[in-house]
Chains A and B, each alone.
Chain A
Amino acid sequence: MKIVVAIKQVPERDAQIRVAADGKWIEEDDLNYTINEPDAYALEEALQLKEKNGTGEVIVVCAGPERVQTTLREALAKGADRAIHIEADDLGSRDTLGVAQILADAVKAESPDLILTGLQSDDLGLGQTGVVLAELLGIPHATIIMQVETTGAGLKVKRELEDGWFQHVEMPLPALLTIQSGGNKLRYATLMGIKKAKTKELKTVGAAAATASPAIALERVYLPEKQKKTEMLTGSPDQVAAQIVEKLKFEVRVI
């Protein structure tokens, strides 16, 4: 089975985020980047499917500036067979449809049996690139997937629903799935894997210029306003603990 995993490079979760001077995005200069966590689960699912089937190929694809190659190399070190970097310095000015279109162009040439991606990105969190990609490619999709089984005719997947409910869905191939975290344990790259990754193919392709103007625009980013007046408790750990206990006794009344 030929599996393409679409991954995104995002700022690290612990990164101190500062709004850029123009107020339209964040200050990117001193940020560290990493693989989008749900995409890491998509990669893990792909690697496990390949291992289970004993055959196949896992291709990782990522759109973005040159720096995304470090994330692609990490995916190769974890076990992906080859990587495609879609060179695009203008992702911020493309909307989901624009990004999904350049992914679709790159993926179409590979005609994979299965495309996996995370259910949403840790930065924008729009949660739709995968679904839009499937729609553009004319293939069925299912989202928020915890488990994937190949059947004779296609796939049987376990979808997560709200409030602890699940559902199995059967679908034909080729198909696209967006993967939820927690279905698998993420692996680390081994030293051997890191060495091997250096010899694996990392192909760079240019992204076509955006053909349509974006349908939506991100006009402004800013720190959220507080919904509640939070009373901050300060002091040494013992002083803070004493203040909390006072609140628990006399205001919240749980002690």
Chain B
Amino acid sequence: MSGVLVVLEQRGGAWNSMSFEALEAGMQLAAKLGTECSAAVVGDGVQSLQWTTAAKPKAVYAVEHALLKDYTSDGFTTALEQLIRKLDPAFVLFPHTYQVRDFAPALATRFKQVLISDVIAIHEGPVFVRQLLQGKLNADYRQTSSGPCFVSVQAGSFRAEAADASAIAMEGFAPELDAAKIRNKPGERFRESAQTVDLTAAPVIVSVGRGIGEQDNIGIVEELATALGAELAASRPICDNGWLPMERQVGSSGQTVSPKLYLAVGISGAIQHLVGMKGSKTVIAINKDENAPIFEVADYGVVGDLFEIVPALTKAVQAAKS
């Protein structure tokens, strides 16, 4: 058992860019361990994919089968189980995508292993760092058993260097799959409705989180957004409660934004939210909890009562503009 295998993700012939971040993590891990890094991609007709990242793994395996055209947990788990048994890697890395979250724990279980999920850093050991308690703490995890160590890598934790598209020689791997054993029947992907709010292009965003307490209080944040000429956005719980429409959600399940200014009001900063706003140029955070993880990524922080600070700020912005 040796080497690092990184399972890349594609859909319909397009790479999921998080794949190459996971590949970068895999290359770095392999270099630290003095071993080699390989990659695999699962699907149907994936051998013609163009390589668009600078990293050059030792080998890239195209795990291909007609039954792998559409993602199913049963199909992907069985196919990758066969590849991993053949290659016998010491580490298997994945991007922490929704698809990986669906099948990788089952795949690890087949090897009597546990997936170390949404890893944000890899230290000597190797020690895998991930967050606990909505980002309030970091934790070091280490594999304690033999057998492949399964790890998924959180978005934005490793930087992949892009390269011009070039052909890559892939080694084919044909798994044995039985249509009768694929129990889920996936439908077409769809969006609920045409999105009318494009937060991705907004230069200024004022975003509100759980700290606002109740729906009636959102007005004070809205007034600040209006004063700044900003788009109003929110973290997931606000949209879950129906206080703002889902299309105003920033985060891994919402929109990914990169404004000049991201003003986070009452947002603690769980990793799912940080993933969506990490491209912001300047982050200002207002939160009553001085240990809130949002302060780890903020340029300017205010610890205090948003119900006092936000109205004062709105007034000051209005005065400055007039």
A residues near B, CB below 8 A? 11, 13-14, 16-17, 19, 26, 95-97, 100, 119, 122-128, 131-132, 134-136, 140-144, 160-172, 180-182, 185, 212-228, 230-234, 237-238, 240-242, 244-245, 247-249, 251-255
B204 engages A164 (CB within 8 Å): no
Those of B207-242 within 8 Å (CB) of chain A: 210, 228, 236-237, 239-242
A254 engages B255 (CB within 8 Å): no
Contact of A123 among B73, B133, B289 (CB under 8 A): B133
A244 engages B300 (CB within 8 Å): yes
Does B32 sit within 8 A of A, measured CB to CB? no
Measured between C-beta atoms, what is the minimum distance from B138 to chain A in Å?
A: 5
Does B143 sit within 8 A of A, measured CB to CB? yes
A213 engages B144 (CB within 8 Å): yes
A245 to B228, CA, bound (A): 10
Measured between C-beta atoms, what is the minimum distance from A60 to chain B in Å?
A: 21
Measured between C-beta atoms, what is the minimum distance from A143 to chain B in Å?
A: 5
- Residues of chain B within 8 A of A242, CB atoms compared: 316
A242 to B248, CA, bound (A): 28
Instruction: Please count how many residues in chain B sit with their CB below 8 Å of the partner chain's CB atoms.
Output: 99
Does B261 sit within 8 A of A, measured CB to CB? yes
A217 engages B141 (CB within 8 Å): yes
A230 engages B296 (CB within 8 Å): yes
Q: Which of B116, B281, B302, B321 has the most chain A CB atoms closer than 10 A to its own CB?
A: B302
Does B166 sit within 8 A of A, measured CB to CB? no
B296 engages A227 (CB within 8 Å): yes
- Residues of chain A within 8 A of B296, CB atoms compared: 224-228, 230
B204 engages A254 (CB within 8 Å): yes
Given contacts A231-B300, A233-B302, A241-B313, contact A216 B112 (CB under 8 A): no
Q: In this complex, what residue of A is CB-closest to B290? A: A232
Measured between C-beta atoms, what is the minimum distance from B37 to chain A in Å?
A: 21
Given contacts A141-B73, A164-B247, A227-B297, contact A222 B137 (CB under 8 A): yes
Q: Which of B184, B195, B242, B284 has the most chain A CB atoms closer than 10 A to its own CB?
A: B184
B97 engages A214 (CB within 8 Å): no
Measured between C-beta atoms, what is the minimum distance from A77 to chain B in Å?
A: 21
Does B85 sit within 8 A of A, measured CB to CB? no
Those of B262-317 within 8 Å (CB) of chain A: 268, 281-285, 289, 291, 293, 295-305, 308-309, 311-313, 315-317
B residues near A, CB below 8 A? 73-74, 97-98, 101-106, 108-110, 112-118, 127, 130-145, 147, 149, 183-192, 195, 203-204, 210, 228, 236-237, 239-242, 246-247, 252-256, 260-261, 268, 281-285, 289, 291, 293, 295-305, 308-309, 311-313, 315-317, 320-321
Q: Which of B135, B296, B311 has the most chain A CB atoms closer than 10 A to its own CB?
A: B296
- List 25 A-B pairs, Cβ < 8 Å: A125-B117, A131-B73, A131-B105, A132-B108, A141-B73, A141-B106, A142-B102, A143-B101, A167-B186, A167-B189, A169-B186, A185-B241, A216-B113, A216-B142, A216-B149, A217-B144, A221-B132, A222-B139, A224-B135, A225-B296, A228-B299, A233-B302, A240-B304, A240-B309, A244-B316
Contact of A230 among B74, B109, B143, B300 (CB under 8 A): B300
Given contacts A169-B184, A221-B132, A232-B301, contact A252 B127 (CB under 8 A): no
- Residues of chain A within 8 A of B195, CB atoms compared: 164
Q: Which of A11, A169, A216, A217 has the most chain B CB atoms closer than 10 A to its own CB?
A: A216
- Residues of chain A within 8 A of B109, CB atoms compared: 97, 100, 131-132, 135-136
- Residues of chain A within 8 A of B293, CB atoms compared: 224
A126 to B289, CA, bound (A): 24
A124 engages B189 (CB within 8 Å): no
A232 engages B131 (CB within 8 Å): no
Given contacts A131-B105, A228-B296, contact A252 B185 (CB under 8 A): no
Measured between C-beta atoms, what is the minimum distance from B220 to chain A in Å?
A: 12
